[in-house]
Amino acid sequence: MNASIAQQAPPAPLDINWVRAQFPSLKLAVNGHSAAFLDAPAGTQVPQRVIAAFREYFETSNANTVGQFLTSRRTDEMIVAARSAMADLFNCTSDEVFFGPNMTTLTFALARGIGRDLKPGDEIVVTTLDHDGNVAPWRALEDIGVVLRQVDIREADCTLDMDDLRCKITPRTKLVAAGYASNAVGTINPVAEIVRLAHEAGALAFIDAVHYAPHGLIDVRALDCDFLACSPYKFFGPHMGCIYGKRDLLLRFRPYKVRPAPAYLPDRWETGTQVHEGLAGVTAAIDYLADLGRHADPAAEDRRAALVIAYRVIRQHEMVLAARMIAGLLKIPGVRFYGISDAARFDERCPTVAVRVRDLTPLDCARFLGDRGIFTWDGNYYALNLTERLGVEKTGGLLRIGLVHYNTAEEVDRLLTAMRELASPA
């Protein structure tokens, strides 16, 4: 977490009734229980305005781009608006943001483009804590002789081993690929420090902010990262992916693209026709977050300022819930907790936790909870390096419980009651 944001109190507490009223799907029921969506790390629910944006796009603007007629012009304007919204979320300019179907596909495309300028023996640093979407695209460059070096974790608290990171960066390192936050155990990495270390060695820094984006404000200028990826479907938007890149780098590296497609930014990195309705939804999701900020502080001057406030409000709400959940889980005999559990260090985590329960498989646990209307995940969630390193991959991975700002204390208490039942010997 960016320390200055974590430390500043929000102007007003999160208005949970206002928030929940925005999300129609939160009213779902399962077997007579209202649904508790604790599955956000795999994708969040969307506010009504995102649904409305899809519908409005199809009803009023559906066309391909740069045509000389109404719907095409509206599509062009809608794309400009989506880039501008995303630029406000990242704190960059609109031409430094490109979209695509998801983070993984975009990262493969970017890595392949960067790989055209690499030679055998060049090194890329990846980590044990990362989702494979920030590992496999770089590992694919082994085909051209690039050497991958993988940074280990400290097993006791599932944090990155920064000493190991310093060792793994060498004069041959061309790029360091690290996550902002772990989608499995919730650790927030010291990304500014990672970027600094990469730059000191003359390497580029690629940050995967997919898991961080619903929880914390992103500021690519302050971070000085070279690339940063995230996926709108993890922050209350549609199933899409997005990457920020510094302008000079996006122009210097050469994407694989069709010849008639534009060579200018950001279009040169957007292969083929975009998911236009999804882009309309991205703007709506970011405007929702900005309105959450304005709801707490109507004086917010512009969208970026409103987003800054929104994330303060979100962070405070989430971490009160996380503290309640973690304290409750730690008290349950038979629950093994992975990751940071010391409340004094919660600035280093987001409200995503991973546990094992007695000798049960995470699949059995997730099913037990799912039958009671509590949605969680089991397995590795593609953080395969981590589940292998922790020795849980062969026995079903981990049970992941992920909170976001639309969750409530009542849902946390329901989870804890169900977990106590699950963990009690038969």
Ligand X SMILES: Cc1ncc(COP(=O)(O)O)c(C=O)c1O
Stretch that binds ligand X, among 116-124, 203-211, 261-269, 367-375 (CB under 6 A): 203-211
The values of phi and psi at residue 167, to 5°, are -70, -35
Q: What is the DSSP string of 322-376?
A: HHHHHHHHHTSTTEEEES---GGGGGGB-SEEEEEETT--HHHHHHHHHHTTEE-
Distance CA 18, CA 260 (A): 47
Stretch that binds ligand X, among 10-18, 129-137, 295-303, 390-398 (CB under 6 A): 129-137
Q: Given the complex with ligand X, which of 237 and 241 has the nearer CB atom?
A: 241
Stretch that binds ligand X, among 1-9, 204-212, 256-264, 305-313 (CB under 6 A): 204-212
Q: Minimum Å distance from CB 232 to ligand X?
A: 9
Please state at what angle helix 409-423 crosses helix 362-371, rounded to 10 degrees.
130
DSSP H or E stretch at residue 113? helix 103-115
Indicate which single residue of 35, 78, 115, 131 sits in contact with ligand X (rule: CB under 6 A): 131
Nearest to 348 by CA among 223, 191, 220, 209: 191
Q: Minimum Å distance from CB 102 to ligand X?
A: 3
Indicate which single residue of 83, 168, 174, 211 sits in contact with ligand X (rule: CB under 6 A): 211
* Residues in region 182-201 near ligand X by CB under 6 A: 183
Q: Minimum Å distance from CB 104 to ligand X?
A: 3
Those residues whose C-beta lies under 8 Å from the C-beta of residue 377, and which sit 6 or more positions away, are: 39, 41, 42, 366, 399, 400, 402
Q: Minimum Å distance from CB 206 to ligand X?
A: 11
Q: Given the complex with ligand X, which of 10 and 241 has the nearer CB atom?
A: 241
Q: Quick one: tokens of 101?
A: 């179907």
DSSP H or E stretch at residue 59? helix 48-60
Indicate which single residue of 115, 133, 214, 373 sits in contact with ligand X (rule: CB under 6 A): 133
Task: Please tell me what DSSP assigns to residue 155.
Answer: T
Stretch that binds ligand X, among 50-58, 128-136, 323-331, 371-379 (CB under 6 A): 128-136
Indicate which single residue of 127, 159, 231, 316 sits in contact with ligand X (rule: CB under 6 A): 231
Distance CA 313, CA 27 (A): 23
* Residues in region 87-126 near ligand X by CB under 6 A: 102-104
Interface with ligand X, residue 278, by CB under 6 A: no
Distance CA 280, CA 277 (A): 5
Give residues in contact with ligand X (CB under 6 A): 102-104, 131, 133-134, 179, 183, 208, 210-211, 231, 241
